[in-house]
Amino acid sequence: MAPTESSQRLDAEALFDSVGQAYESAFADCSAQRASVTWLLERLPPQASVLDIGCGTGRPVCSSMAAAGHIVLGIDVSGVMIAAATRNVPEASFEKIDIKDFEPANGRHGENMDIAWMGRPIVASSLSSEEVLEVMKAAKFEVLKVENSKYLPRAAQAGICREEDVWEEEHLFVYARK
């Protein structure tokens, strides 16, 4: 799928709907993500409840957790991603949920930033790593481990965009329990 020719900005739902199943190919060799799944699987009690926020196609997180016997709920803003996840991991539950209106307790996150992601114009909002941890602690989660890594998606090879539209992304993995 080629990038959109329109200069109209996409919201998160339209962005991930436009990327679709190719997203899985672009991130298929993300070793930090696979390591995080392994780490978590080694520590979860039997039949733990797992919530994957931004579950995408359901692979590898939801599929690995469900295969290990855990109760999995994946959420994503994209109907295309939820449809793919439902097909890919029928033993998990999935819900299309728009979380773009989420407001952290301290309200300090980047809002309404115009950026291009994989050749697609969007308006993005984000939290810093510190803000994510503050929100999780405020929600009474016990943070067990935090890892930051960088990953260069294979988006051009997956047919999502041109090579010049890809940059190394920072990934935050927070392991927590309630």
pLDDT of residue 78: 95
Q: Per-residue pLDDT for 69 more than 90?
A: yes
**pLDDT tens readout for residues 112-164:** 667 788 888 887 777 788 888 988 888 888 999 999 999 999 999 999 999 99
pLDDT of residue 123: 74
User: Does a structural domain hold residue 5?
Assistant: no
Verdict on whether the full-model pTM lies above 0.85: no
Helix axis angle, 79-88 to 12-19, nearest 10°:
50
User: Does a structural domain hold residue 163?
Assistant: yes
CATH number, domain with residue 88? 3.40.50.150
pLDDT of residue 128: 82
User: Does a structural domain hold residue 2?
Assistant: no
3-state helix, strand, coil in the chain (%, to 5): 30, 30, 40
Tokens found for residue 90: 């029928």
pLDDT of residue 83: 97
Coil, strand or helix at 85:
helix
Q: Per-residue pLDDT for 168 more than 80?
A: yes
**pLDDT tens readout for residues 71-111:** 998 889 999 999 999 999 999 999 898 765 444 334 444 65
Domain of 74?
A: 12-177
Q: How many domains does the chain have?
A: 1
Q: Tell me whether residue 177 is exposed, middle or buried, using C-beta atoms within 10 angstroms of its C-beta: 0 to 12, 13 to 18, 19 or more.
A: exposed
User: Does a structural domain hold residue 121?
Assistant: yes
User: Does a structural domain hold residue 53?
Assistant: yes
Identity of the amino acid at 121: P
Q: Per-residue pLDDT for 36 more than 50?
A: yes
Q: Per-residue pLDDT for 40 more than 70?
A: yes
Q: Per-residue pLDDT for 21 more than 90?
A: no
Q: Which alpha helices (DSSP H) does 89-126 contain, by range?
A: none
User: Does a structural domain hold residue 43?
Assistant: yes
CB of 52 closer than 8 Å to CB of 70: no
Reference 129, options 76, 77, 174; nearest CA is: 174
User: Does a structural domain hold residue 47?
Assistant: yes
pLDDT of residue 6: 56
What distances in angstroms separate CA 71 from CA 27, 90, 132, one per listed residue?
24, 12, 24
What distances in angstroms separate CA 14 from CA 44, 140, 142, 158, one per listed residue?
34, 33, 34, 18
pLDDT of residue 112: 65
User: Does a structural domain hold residue 117?
Assistant: yes
Per-range mean pLDDT, top range of 5-14, 20-29, 61-70, 90-99: 61-70
